[in-house]
Chain A
Amino acid sequence: MYDLIVVGAGPAGYTAALYAKRYDLDVLVVGEDLGGLCNEAYIVENWPGTKEIEGNELMDRMKDQIEDLGVEVLQKRVDRIEGEDTFSVHVNGKIFETASVILALGADKRRLNIEGEKELVGKGVSYCVTCDGPLYRNKDVAVIGGADSGLKAAMLLAEYSDNVHVFEATDELKAEKIMIDRCRENNKIKLNCGMAPEKFVGDKFLERIVFQNGDEVEVDGAFIEIGSVPNESIKKIGNRKITRDEGGFIEVSPGLSTNVEGVFAAGDVTTASNKMRQIVTAAAEGAIAAYSAYSYVGEKDA
């Protein structure tokens, strides 16, 4: 029987495990996607103490740090969690028992849900600039979304391509000013506002994007960077539903407990930290949730 099982292996999950292990809890981390969305950040410049680091490098370091302490990290999907007083975490036919759970499920890339998108994924439409950017060397590419992740994507793509078009649906870019300035100074990047895509068109591969205002732009690749949605892979504990808000975020107390006693949540999946969804806020929530789990397990044992 574990004291704590952390479901999710991003900044929140790893930090929760780090704190829990240092509180001397017996802790296991199970995550389908080690590193989570952070892996895809080609450069992280707002993790304090580190001027710049690649997202996947940062995540590897977090993982190393907890593994050095003796925490096991399983790259598996959690199928379901049962139990009331203690919990059974079902992982591919195996069952792990635990006194408490932290759901650090993270977020998934938001889809546009427009015509042609699904059909052309991997054929020009991509959600991962760090994975697929280098495949578009000297091609014309588009980034859909003018917030931080979109402009970062554009900066990376400009290393491979001379024509990077950024399309923001609203009338203004929502990125950090420092990123907007860098993109404006880069003559390979063209920033366009008020351009909402209507459909992707292409026979075998993406050929052009048609916008709601009737404009059409020919590109070989379109990278979709329009934020994230909370992961909803775990909806219930036994037959008790985990309370989420209308956007799918898990509702939490200041101590990051959920509506199910003994189950806590941390990171991009929660309503906490003003939903800021940064590596630093996810890590902070991981620490808080670990302390709450530690207190909970201690009280139960007493």
Chain B
Amino acid sequence: MALKKSKDEDFDEKVLEASKERPVVVDFWAEWCMPCKQLKPTIEEIGKERDDIDVVKVNIDEADEKPQEYGVRSVPNVKLFVDGKIVDEFIGNRTKEDVLEWIDENI
């Protein structure tokens, strides 16, 4: 089980620090966003199925600073952190196959 939730307070620990151990996929999402709802099962399944990565969900209405700090201007915005840095990101809904392919291309 590598599916987690994060807010501002524990973002550094769950994302930045954790990404030094293994890649971390961060899904910035919001309740009111339809593509976010569509992406949700995909992200959650990947989080549960893959034990080589962490998947962290950030509800942007429950976190102010980190979405700002990382330039989230569109949701869903999925960012891949490796060694404390963003290596790639995408915006909008994608199929599970496409998300897995994107992860594997970038880790």
Contact = CB atoms under 8 A, between A and B. Distances in A.
A132 B72 CA distance: 10
Nearest to A76: B95
A131 B97 CA distance: 23
B33 interface: yes
B74 interface: yes
B71 A123 contact: yes
Given A35-B34, A130-B32, A124 B95 contact: no
5 contacts: A39-B34, A40-B34, A123-B73, A126-B74, A221-B73
Residue of B30, B33, B77, B92 most packed against chain A (CB within 10 A): B33
Nearest to B68: A135
Interface string A217-238: 0000100000000000000000
B71 A204 contact: yes
B76 to A, nearest CB: 8
Main secondary structure of the interface of B (DSSP, over half): loop
A33 B73 contact: no
Contact of A131 (B71, B75, B98): B75
Contacts of B74: 121-123, 126, 128, 131-132, 135
A67 interface: no
Nearest to B72: A135
B73 A122 contact: yes
B55 to A, nearest CB: 19
A122 B34 contact: no
Contacts of A128: 35, 74, 92
Contacts of A213: none
Contacts, number: 59
Interface in A200-215: 204-205
Interface in A19-57: 32-35, 39-40, 55-56
Interface of A: 32-35, 39-40, 55-56, 75-77, 92, 121-124, 126, 128, 130-132, 134-135, 204-205, 221
Interface in B23-51: 30, 32-38
Contact of B73 (A32, A35, A39, A135): A135
B6 interface: no
B91 interface: yes
A33 B93 contact: yes
Contacts of A204: 71
A129 to B, nearest CB: 11
A75 B98 CA distance: 12
A124 B95 CA distance: 24
Residue of B37, B73, B92, B95 most packed against chain A (CB within 10 A): B73
B38 A75 contact: yes
Nearest to B94: A32
Given A32-B95, A33-B93, A77-B95, A130 B34 contact: yes
